Amino acid sequence: MPNLTKSPALRLLVVVMFILLTISGISFSLYLIYFGAHTIAMYAIATVFLILSAVSGFFNIFTSYSYYRSVFYDKYLEGITRMLKPLTYKPTVALVMPVFNEDAAIVQRNMLRLMTMNYPADKMSFYLLDDSTDAGTGRKLRAFAASNGIKYLHRDDRKGFKAGALNNMMAQSSEEFIAVFDYDEYLTDQNFLLDLLPYFSDRKLSYIQTEKRYFKGTFFSDTVDLFDAFFFKFIQPSRALNNTAIFAGSCGLLRRSAVEKVGGFPEYIIEDTFFSFESDMHDFSSLYLPKVYAYGKPILTFSNLAKQQWRYNYGDTQFLMYFIRRLRSGNGGKKMPMMSTVDYITHGAGLNYISIVLILFAMVSVAVVFAASSHSGVTIQQLLDAKYIATTIEILGISTFAISILAPTIMTKVHFKSLRKGFMVFLLNFALSFIRTKAAIAASLDMYPSMGWSKGGKAPGIRGRTLNTIRTTLSETTFSSSLFILGFLALIINNIYGAVWLIWYAMLYSTTFILFYKYG
């Protein structure tokens, strides 16, 4: 039986689906302009819808192209691996674990596991970078480090966040390579260094990133793992073909001289993306190795996912502004290939597209429903009448919704054997839209880099839990409730399609409330 996960034909089918999704969205907008726009206001609304459809289409097609292209990465990597020579010289390596108020027991367990790495002991040094503000955690980790020969570096402030801790470590060390692991990552393959170091015979290679995954947990946490797996399974390989694979902050190995040449780790909230870009700008190469060497702690609550996504989108927005400034300044004279430019723009703008554009789509949809007089008064009988011209817009709208759901669910079924998780991935993008949008706004205004999100969601009793969930998800709950009300108003004026459209959006945006209530 053929391996569908490696089938270029199947991946091409997904590309076609996203192209059809783009065509239906743009056709919908053009339909509004040519048949539904009878006023200046309606022309403006339809034009905005067209712009949003075009932006959405660009990201959808580019993402599906990356998905298609990633199938060829294995052959590319095999060509590089075939040229490797046995590791004769064993360079010194610093194995580093940054920590901030984490569970000391988990830190100790995972650091001890790192110390079982298959590599000469005299060539490895272990560093615990503790930025914890909790005195008890600090005492435990300091004592643990002292009793296990681990170098303990504590900072009284978090200047530069994780990047600041790494730069502080570099100022007090001299190892030739740096391997970074997060506190919750448990090493499952002890050949990490033996496997990765031979690739660095290429003197221009700055870093290697390996695949990051979480341990199995609940249906929700496994879906979150899958949520991230799309990036590591499809986007990273495609980017690696353009030398723009992103260093993902951990489970990676870096050449010290390269880090020093770019000026250390850029002190931003997502230092890894900034470093990856600067490495490229300094004419270094990078590599992605699609193999899991360590598994992270599963994300069991929606709150923790929300905080993760807040940090990602805050940092990605910062990076997008940084990247645009570099483009305007000429990038120090370096001419960037077009595909690399697109890679960096889509990386910086990707979560913004998924969040801001989705919200704008819903808002413009409200205007379309109540301003498009040509669609008002469409009855159920007329919807079933193929001769009725307004059915065109219903078909376009239904096609757009159907394909937007089918594409991720089919990909998930083929690659991860689960339709349910595929549909959950689809829902998560709506559930996280407001969180990501707020993060983008905060980054654009250079405001707070952390998220004020209530912990838990499991207050005593149904009433207490419901009230806590409403308080925490007030923006999302207000938005979805408004869409429900507007949908029923459309139903009252006999605009069946408009009612279905808005109620569908309302259901999608109510998922923030549902997921926080259910998972905390």
Residue 457 predicted with pLDDT over 70? no
Helices (H), 333-432: 338-352, 358-371, 380-383, 391-416, 419-431
Q: If you average pLDDT over every residue of the chain, what do you get?
A: 84
| For range 429-451, the mean pLDDT | 86
Residue 299 predicted with pLDDT over 90? yes
Distance CA 51, CA 393 (A): 18
In CATH terms, 84-300 corresponds, of 3.60.15.10, 3.20.20.70, 3.90.550.10, 3.40.50.1220, to 3.90.550.10
Residue 411 predicted with pLDDT over 80? no
Q: Please tell me the least confidently modeled range out of 65-69, 83-87, 134-138, 453-457.
A: 453-457
State the pLDDT confidence band at 401, using cuts at 50, 70 and 90.
Answer: low
208 has which bridge partners? 253, 287
pTM: 0.86
Using the CB atoms, write b or e for 349-361: b if 16+ within 10 Å: bbbbbbbbbbbbb
pLDDT at position 209 is 97
pLDDT at position 477 is 94
pLDDT at position 377 is 46
Distance CA 400, CA 235 (A): 24
Digit-coded pLDDT (tens) for 173-216: 999 999 999 999 999 999 999 999 999 999 999 999 999 999 99
- Side chain identity at 259, as an amino acid letter? V
State the pLDDT confidence band at 32, using cuts at 50, 70 and 90.
Answer: low
Distance CA 232, CA 76 (A): 16
Is beta strand 205-214 parallel, antiparallel or unpaired with respect to 151-154?
unpaired
Query: What token pair was written down for 128?
Result: 């615990």
Strand, coil or helix: what is 115? Answer: coil
Tokens 């503790």, located at residue: 130
Distance CA 412, CA 418 (A): 6
Give me the residue spans of the domains in the chain: 4-71+351-519, 84-300
- What sign has the CA pseudo-torsion 481, 487, 490, 494? negative
Query: What token pair was written down for 319?
Result: 């990076």
Distance CA 401, CA 394 (A): 11
Distance CA 307, CA 442 (A): 14
